[in-house]
Structure 1
Amino acid sequence: MPTFIYPPSIPWNWMFQRPQQLLGQISSSGQTVLYEDLGNFPQPKIKSLSSSLHLCQGISALKVPHSRPRILWLTVPSHINSISNYNPDLVIYDAVDEPKDEFASWAPYYPAIIQNADLIFCSSQSIYDYFHPRHPQVHLVPNGVDYVHFASGPNKRPRDLPLGKPIIGYSGAIAPWVNWDLLKKVIEENPEFNFIFIGAFFQLHKFPLKNKNVYYLGLKSYHELPDYFHYFDVGLIPFLQTEMTKGCNPIKLYEYYAAGIQVLATPLPELLSVPKINLESNPHLFSLRLRHLLEESDSGKPQRMAYAQANDWAERTGRMLQQIYRMTYRNKESV
């Protein structure tokens, strides 16, 4: 049975993203996953989350007895230069962002990725379009959702959610690629709504909005998120339209949809074909659309939830494992 190793990239308990979701699903299918957790661990240890999913906290995965083939799973481009440290049988690069703007420092590592990765997965069409002509094993696998986690009803209303007004919510990184100028205008035009922001800071040191109807609630655990989402009247994806966000396939879209929430977003390329989504880039039109969503009856909830269910992480993982097994078998036969 293969062993998957993920070098230290994202703390397991930070914002629960694509790597944690996919590797968690892979472990649920019976493969051993050794996740080298990122953080300061005074007492190095192996924290087992299940019989097949182990967090290596302050200790190398190579010190944990495991079976081969050894599969190295990379999402940080610079880790391509550390392949020799792991002596893997298969190298996977999971490409999740464009190497532009905030991630421009990634670009110099792409030639080495193309040369040394055995298999490349891409989370968006534009990323796939870059790698496909340059590498023989490239596959488009968009982001997804743990449908059951978000579709289940809330346990109770979170205490830090404000009362008395409709809730317009955003969950995700508090980052430069959010269109804060658009949000400032929209929020000022809509004092009758409360705007809620949940997430961790990324390349920002303070929350950029100070309006009376704005509430920054900090980072919430993955376990808590559905309790908040089920009180959102509208979920926001208000990203700038840049070279970096051109390749953004927002996980929050699938999570909002699984919770049944109406979504208002800026017209990112990856959102243009999503059913029942609302897209605007002009602040005034964005504001008008927001009010319209709250005034009209919502008939699209079943379609949104069905779309989310069809894009569950289990489906994504199954597709990836099919390619991984094929490549692993091919490599074994060639030895």
Structure 2
Amino acid sequence: MPTIIYPPSIPWNWMFQRPQQLLGRFSASGQTVLYEDLGNFSTSKNNLLSPSFLICQGSSAMSVPHPRPRILWLTVPSHINLIENYDPDLVIYDAVDEPKDEFASWAPYYPSILERADLIFCSSNSIYEYFLNRHPHVYLIPNGVDYVHFSPAPTHRPIDLPSGKPIVGYSGAIAPWVDWDLLKLVIQENPEINFVFLGALFQLNKFPLKLKNVYYLGLKSYQQLPAYLHHFDVGLIPFRQTEMTKGCNPIKLYEYYAAGIRVLGTPLPELLTIPKINLESSPHLFSLRLKHLVKEVDSNKAERMAYAQANDWSERVGRMLQYILERANTNQK
């Protein structure tokens, strides 16, 4: 079985995103995964999460004996320059964001990615369309969800959740691509609702909103997250519509749906085909739709959860493995 190495890109215990989800499932399917953690570690150590998943903290995956073929899995474009450090048999670039706006610094590395990556996976249609006619091995693999993790009803209510009013929540990066101006108006127009925000600050020095019915609860662990989502009456995806966000396939959409909650977002291209979603671009209409959602009887929970279940990460990994093994076999001939 192959070994997949992931260079230092995302702290393992930060927000649990696409790389952690996919690599965890690759390990569960029998591949060896060596995850080089991002951070400053006073001493080098290797943490064994499972017989086939090792987190390397302050140490190189290359110091760990492992079987070949060796696959280098990249999500940060500049890491294309690290290829020589790993001597891989296969280089995979998993394209998760547009190289624009907040990620504009990625763009200069794309010519090298097109030249040196053996396989490119894309999380959204706009990213896929960019690579499709520029590289011979490109596949669209949207984000997904750990349905078993998010769908069961929680056994407790988190103690830091506000009470007494309906809860409208946001889970994810507290970042510049969130439409904070829209949210400020919507929150001011809905004093009868508590607005809860979960996640880490990203490219922001402080939480942007200070309003009486706003609760920023910080970053929650992946294990804690479902208990919070199940207490949301509505989950928000209030992204600004930019060149970068047109390539966003929000993981939070699938996690909200797996928890059974209704979703209100701005009309990002990747959300336009999602069943039973609510989309508004005008702040005033967004606010009116939110008022309606909080008051109405929810009759589409089962359909939303079924959609999430059909988009489990396991389905994504099954397809990826097929493409990876085909490409690896071709390279070995």
TM-score in same-fold range (> 0.5)? yes
Matched residues in 1 for 2:153 and 2:70: separation? Answer: 39
| Aligned pairs for 1:1-335 within 5 A | 1-333=1-333
SS at match of 2:106: helix
Q: Tell me how far 1:141 sits from its aligned partner.
A: 0.1
Q: Tell me how far 1:210 sits from its aligned partner.
A: 0.3
TM-score (norm 1): 0.99
Cα-to-partner distance string for 1:140-183 (whole Å, 9 max, x where unaligned) = 00000000100011121000000100000000000000000000
Cα-to-partner distance string for 1:258-309 (whole Å, 9 max, x where unaligned) = 0000000000000000000000010110010001111211111011000000
Matched residues in 1 for 2:53 and 2:147: separation? Answer: 21
One-letter identity of the residue aligned with 1:322: Q
Unpaired segments ≥5 residues, structure 2: none
Q: Tell me how far 1:52 sits from its aligned partner.
A: 0.5
Matched residues in 2 for 1:251 and 1:311: separation? Answer: 11
One-letter identity of the residue aligned with 2:89: D
SS at match of 2:50: coil
Unpaired segments ≥5 residues, structure 1: none
After superposing on structure 2, the runs of 4+ consecutive aligned residues of structure 1 that deviate more than 4 Å are: none
Between 1:214-223 and 1:35-44, the stretch displaced more is 35-44
TM-score (norm 2): 1.00
Matched residues in 2 for 1:81 and 1:58: separation? Answer: 20
Identity score, percent: 77
Matched residues in 2 for 1:208 and 1:202: separation? Answer: 12
Between 1:84-93 and 1:294-303, the stretch displaced more is 294-303
Cα-to-partner distance string for 1:85-124 (whole Å, 9 max, x where unaligned) = 1000000000000000000000000000000000000000
Matched residues in 2 for 1:88 and 1:155: separation? Answer: 45
